[in-house]
Amino acid sequence: MTNTYTPPKVWQFDEESGGTWAKVNRPVSGATHSAELPIGEHPFQLYSIATPNGQKVTIMLEELLALGVTDAEYDAHLINIGEGDQFSSGFVAVNPNSKIPALMDHSESNSSTRVFESGAILLYLAEKFGKLLSKNVTERTEVLNWLFWLQGSAPYLGGGFGHFYAYAPEKFEYPINRFTMEVKRQLDLLDKQLADNKFIAGDSYTIADIAIWPWYGNLVLGKQYDAGEFLEVDSYQHVKRWAEEISQRPAVQRGRIVNRTWGEPWENLANRHNASDIDQVLKLKPKV
């Protein structure tokens, strides 16, 4: 393989580097413009978009509501990351890292809590409401093992494989091969884990499943990067079984469409303020 690129002594930012996210990527942090975030009427205010990381939190909130946790009611406001909404002064105040999702908890009368990073939000909500995370030390640790595995592994799938396979301005053999090998190793790992377990961390559905499904579940169901055939996802039969079962959960079907602005009309809800908002969209789905 011929190497046609020699790194300069000092890297320089090239705004014309191309790629899907080129116009919003930059090498510095902080706000680019002043704008306040909207605030709805519920205790939780979520600022997000329905990427896999965004789906984690909306699915979690819908699962809590399905369990009867009425205090988990929320408003979900669209953050259009393609237009740079994540760099507003309001969003940066909630998440200085300018990444979705970001959550504000206004449920306490004398204070508000900001929570950013999707894994941290799942853990915060699980601990606040005592749901979807066992209090047994051994069981809890196994869930956290897989939660933190996802937080470390998903960047190889999204920022690595997904970027070079689907979003880069040109196709390059080396990075596609490098990240394909890693993603297939991860799928093989999950397949072996799910061969002996109904859910990711054992017999119970937990925040580990909620964290992993939007990335690897969507991938093996053919809803991520149009890469199903390339990755031979059907060969990971245990992951496929798990992904299909999770996809049938009502809370997952509800949560995955929140803050989504693409796809079919019945999976497209830019902002969510009440349960009825989701109900109205799901009514548009054709009956099979």
**Could you check whether the bond before residue 214 is cis, i.e. omega within 30 degrees of 0?**
no
Segment 211-255, tens digit of pLDDT: 999 999 999 999 999 999 999 999 999 999 999 999 999 999 999
Segment 78-122, tens digit of pLDDT: 999 999 999 999 999 999 999 999 999 999 988 999 999 999 999
CB 21 within 8 A of CB 167: yes
Segment 136-179, tens digit of pLDDT: 999 999 999 999 999 999 999 999 999 999 999 999 999 999 99
Q: What angle do CA 41, 46, 52 make, to 5 degrees?
A: 150
Q: Please check the confidence at residue 257 and state whether its pLDDT lies above 70.
A: yes
Q: Please state the rounded mean pLDDT for residues 265-281.
A: 97
Structure tokens at 132: 């979807």
Residue 204: count of CB within 10 angstroms of its CB: 16
Q: Please check the confidence at residue 4 and state whether its pLDDT lies above 90.
A: no
Residues near 281 by beta carbon (within 8 Å), at least 6 away in sequence: 257, 265, 266, 267, 268, 269
Q: Please state the rounded mean pLDDT for residues 255-261.
A: 98
Q: Please check the confidence at residue 205 and state whether its pLDDT lies above 80.
A: yes
* pLDDT at residue 38, rounded to an integer: 98
Mean pLDDT of the chain: 95
Nearest Cα to Cα of residue 51 among 18, 87, 21: 21
Q: Please check the confidence at residue 17 and state whether its pLDDT lies above 70.
A: no
* pLDDT at residue 16, rounded to an integer: 66
CA–CA dist 53, 258 (Å, integer): 12
**Edge-first strand listing for the sheet containing 74-78:** 74-78, 44-48, 102-105, 113-116
CA–CA dist 142, 20 (Å, integer): 37
Nearest Cα to Cα of residue 93 among 108, 109, 112: 112
